[in-house]
Amino acid sequence: QKEVEQDPGPLSVPEGAIVSLNCTYSNSAFQYFMWYRQYSRKGPELLMYTYSSGNKEDGRFTAQVDKSSKYISLFIRDSQPSDSATYLCAMSARGNNRLAFGKGNQVVVIP
Amino acid sequence: EADIYQTPRYLVIGTGKKITLECSQTMGHDKMYWYQQDPGMELHLIHYSYGVNSTEKGDLSSESTVSRIRTEHFPLTLESARPSHTSQYLCASEQANYGYTFGSGTRLTVV
């Protein structure tokens, strides 16, 4: 079993819809949770960062962490064509800075 | 504005040639990483460094080598390029537990 599972299946949504992405993980030591956005032919950029459990909101983006279920989510409200990208979840444990990445979800927002 | 720079952005080279992919960061980060990513595929860690004169192989076996003589510089070298080395190579650096900053990547094609 991989440490981080992310269903890579492409996701197409109409403009304005809510995009919901999630990852599950197996390592209970993970405490730092991140979402990266990667545009085509670019490097990933850090989108959301969360420590431990709870919610974090930044504009149209909301990140949720449920450590009891080992499940993290990213929601994008009022999706825009510019949100079309691949979204990767990533996480690490205290003292171990190497990130474990999910495979990434390709999201296409259709105008 | 990127604080981590990769050159070249694109490289087409013949089989058997020696190549060096450059990566430099201006943030003073001790930890740096090299990932390999095929189009639409997940990230694979090939090398990492936790400081000057410290380098380790990553999770994916690679015929490349790295060096870390200066904090800001983490070049990756292929002694004899082969078509199987065709991929995108991403460099990243990290401030402890605050996520990675990625470069824009080098897209390598070996013909």
Q: DSSP assignment of B28-58, as one string?
A: --SEEEEEEE-TTS--EEEEEEEETTEEEE-
Mean pLDDT confidence for A50-69:
94
Contacts of B55 in chain A (CB under 8 A): none
pLDDT, one tens digit per residue, over B10-45 is 999 999 999 999 999 999 999 999 999 998 788 999
pLDDT at A41 over 90: no
B84 phi and psi, to 5 degrees? Answer: -65, -15
pLDDT at A56 over 60: yes
Chain B contact for A2, CB < 8 A? Answer: no
Identify the CA nearest to B101 among candidates A90, A52, A60.
A90
Contact A106 B103 (CB under 8 A): no
> What is the pLDDT at residue B39?
81
B83 phi and psi, to 5 degrees? Answer: -55, -30
- A 10 A CB-CB count for B46 gives 22
Chain A residue nearest residue B3, CA to CA: A45
By Cβ distance, the residue of B90, B99, B105 closest to A46 is B99
